[in-house]
Structure 1
Amino acid sequence: MSQKTFIAGVGMIPFTKPGASLSYVEMGAQAVRRALDDAGLAYDQVQSAYAGYVYGDSTCGQTVLYEVGRTGVPIFNVNNNCSSGSTALFLARTAVELGQVDCALAVGFEQMQPGALQSHWDDRPQTRERFHPVWQTLTADAQGVPRAVRCFAGAGREHMRKYGTKLETFAAIRAKASRHAANNPLAMFRTVLTVDDVMNDKAIWPGVATRLMACPPTCGAAAAIVVSERFARRHGLRTDVQVLAQSMTTDVVESFDPPSMIGYVGFHMSRAAAQAVYEHSGVDPKDVRVCELHDCFAHNELLTYEAIGLCQEGQAERFVLDGDNTYGGQCVTNPSGGLLSKGHPLGATGLAQCYELTHQLRGSAEARQVQKVDIALQHNLGLGGACVVTLYGRADTH
């Protein structure tokens, strides 16, 4: 029989620019210590651990966790591109739910380099190489534009052409992110921007994207402690934030055929994961009042509104223009500032989202607090690919 799972503790450190951070070892260890302190646990009470990161050698998870303690606990290293942190959380939650352990730790960290993302391996096939002709052909007019920009901004351009979405709408999403991040002391960028600021920034693909519409390379770490109900009661831990449902999906045929940039960047993965979560929990997407979603580009935030059911396909621009993505609207998206303003240390992002939503459900998000929240949705995406969608709820209301 499956066990109920709870988030007993969360920890996160301020996100910073590459070159200004501590080492991944120090960042990860700090985040773990904060999560343990938040839960009121000692490291020797953790029964299994999962470490998410992208840029690092094997057993970086052990290297980080050995700074906290050396208890012989099983440690699993996780690399699922930008969804590595939420995949670590998925594995921790699964272990507890299935009764393999009663207390699991998920940690994510990343020590990034400046500039566009790039592979450090040039002597072997690249990930998804079989399907590269999709983005290469559909964005053939963008030679010299970094690959990530071509993929995500190219998907946004497809939406613009299909539904008439304006570039200013993506700028409005970025401006909204800056307003939210202004209230987040852990966010990297806290300066409030206007739509004009975003539109007038340097074009990285003229007519399709400016620099401010893309998330920056970031360093940071975050962690969460997942426990069973019996463990929580035995140790007097809080059980106010429960994982109600969680799903992880990978690419399907429709991701690449017929060729579509929207499909290529994970729309179908996101939709399938979200639908599975709604079906399992019985929650309607229209009842979601707060969501942390994967806004690596402003374009992807807009696409994700439709993928996870916050609005119908083709209606995302209206969702933005009506203010339904912020305070006072239908669903406050990325109250933390999201990847665009908070930052995107790849392995840490999924657990930083968990950190934010845990505090939203506890009512401890301070100036970012969304009122009357009893469920919260998390969406974390990695090309390659994997998408993890998690639904949390206040345990006293479910």
Structure 2
Amino acid sequence: MAGKAYIVGVGMTRFEKPETGDRQYWDLVKEAGTAALADAGIGYEAVEQVPVGYCFQASTAGQRAAYELGLTGVPVYNVNNNCATGATALMMARQFVEGGLNDCVLALGFEKMKRGALGGGADSGDFRTSPVARHYGVMAAAHGFEQTPPTAQLFGNAAREHMARYGTTAEQLAAVGAKNHRHSVHNPYAQFQEAYTVEEVLAAKTIHRPLTRLQCSPTSDGAAAAVVVSERFVGEHGLADRAVEIAAQAMTTDTGDSFASGSCIDVVGRPMSRAAARQAYAAGGLGIEDVDVIELHDCFSVNELLTYEALGMCAEGESGKLVADGATTYGGRWVVNPSGGLISKGHPLGATGLAQAAELVWQLRGTAGERQVPGARVGLAHNIGLGGAAVVTVLRR
């Protein structure tokens, strides 16, 4: 029978604008990994396996990064699952522990990125050879292909469809950006720590209509880490006071539902997210009504709205009203992205999913400072990558 898995240590660097410092990716991993091990109160010699997530470095960069923590000869796995990479590394760690293979696994994630829009230009060669060419093809058939950042086109066109289909407004989309920028003011790890009003979000530079710059996650440098251990390890090392249970976790990839409708709403992953949430709820015996705090993949403001619907927080088409009514901020039904989310905290792809886990661990321990969600006991993380993978993780204290 599967055992239980717990996170007993987390750490992360501040997420920063690319090309602003002279630290290498292994320096970032050393900072985050050392912090996670110190949080757990253990040394690297206790670690038995190390999955390392990243997207923009060469093969075995995971070893180069992990070697800064110790040269113990343990297996290191290089993980790349697009924007869901960090949560995928965490899932591997959990599976190693729950399956009884290991008692202590360290999940790492990092990224060193270039400035500019994620995905580069929309030149025809990139379009034909991209791993998400099928996704772009569905979009192009419905909306054409413009000279704006291609990932922003996918999500911007999903926003247009949502507005046309459900009456979602530009102000409701902007409310997501305003909320998450407001939340990040109290997060010392966030790339941006400035609050903006809905009007200021709307007035920012348009990236792909209706999405403005303040509704889009920036490229970022950063690293994050989590120590995942067995119930036996928790008991033997006296870690119950800091242990947060991984109550459930599920990953899904694209099915025909992503493409059959010809809708960008489905192409960018709402069916994957819905399926992953349902599987996680069933595995953990929990539902969205049990969740207090959520870190979800707001790569663009519209994806936060789509994810509300996929997680069962509201019916299809009602997510704009949910955010406008204040249901997803402090004083509402849930607090979503208390860290500032990807939009304001930043989005170094390989680190994002593990940074979400770190924020939830701090929230469930009651140590999140001015960001603390009162009485938080159950947290949910949602990490998604085009091409594709969606990972939903439920944490419980």
What is the TM-score normalised by the length of structure 1?
A: 0.96
Q: Which moved more, 1:76-85 or 1:228-237?
A: 228-237
Task: Give the C-alpha shift of residue 123 in structure 1.
Answer: 11
CA RMSD of aligned residues (A): 1.5
Whole-Å separation in 1 of the counterparts to 2:7 and 2:135: 38
Which residue of the other structure, out of 135, 146, 149, is the alignment partner of 2:149?
A: 146
Indicate conservation of the 8 Å contact 2:234/2:243, yes or no.
no
Alpha-carbon separation, structure 2, partners of 1:6 and 1:284: 20
In the alignment of these two chains, the number of paired residues is: 392
| Cα deviation digits, residues 265-324 of structure 1 (max 9, x gap) | 000100000001111112121221210000000111111100111111111011112100
Which residues in structure 2 correspond to 1:114-153 (within 5 Å)? 114-118=115-119, 125-140=129-144, 143-153=146-156
CA contact (8 A) 2:136 2:154 kept: no
Gaps of 5+ in 2: none
SS of the aligned residue for 1:327 comes to coil
CA distance in 2, matches of 1:226, 1:130: 36
The aligned amino acid for 1:129 is A
One-letter amino acid of the structure 2 residue matched with residue 97 of structure 1? E
1:11 maps onto 2:14 in alignment: no
SS at match of 2:349: coil
The separation in 1 between residues aligned to 2:375 and 2:43, in whole angstroms, is: 33
Unaligned runs of 5+ residues in structure 1 are none
> What is aligned with 1:222?
224
- Output the TM-score relative to the length of structure 2: 0.96
Question: How far did 1:128 drift?
Answer: 2.7
| Cα offset, 1:67, TM superposition | 1.0
Identity %: 50
Q: CA deviation at 1:139?
A: 2.3
* Map of 1:101 onto structure 2: 102
- Cα-to-partner distance string for 1:68-126 (whole Å, 9 max, x where unaligned): 10101000000000010000000000000000111001000000100012369969832
Separation in structure 1 between the aligned mates of residue 27 and residue 135 of structure 2, nearest angstrom: 38
- Corresponding residue for 2:85? 84
Q: 1:234 aligns with which of 228, 236, 241?
A: 236
Matches of 1:374 and 1:172, distance apart in 2: 26
Per-residue deviation, 1:129 = 2.1
- Residue 335 (structure 1) shift: 0.2
The amino acid of 1:213's aligned partner reads Q
Quote the residue 1:390 is aligned against. 393
For 2:352 and 2:295, the matched residues in 1 are separated by 10
Match for 2:172 among 147, 169, 173?
169
In the alignment, the residues of structure 2 paired with residue 123 and residue 320 of structure 1 have an alpha-carbon distance, to the nearest angstrom, of 34
> What are the equivalent positions in structure 2 for 1:171-250 lying under 5 Å apart?
171-206=174-209, 208-238=210-240, 240-250=243-253
CA drift of 1:211 comes to: 1.4
Q: Which segment is superposed worse, 333-342 or 236-245?
A: 236-245
1:344-383 correspondence to structure 2 within 5 Å? 344-383=347-386
Look up the match of 2:300. Answer: 297
Q: Give the whole-Å Cα distance in 2 for the aligned partners of 1:380 and 1:291.
A: 11
1:102 counterpart letter in structure 2: D
CA contact (8 A) 1:139 1:150 kept: no
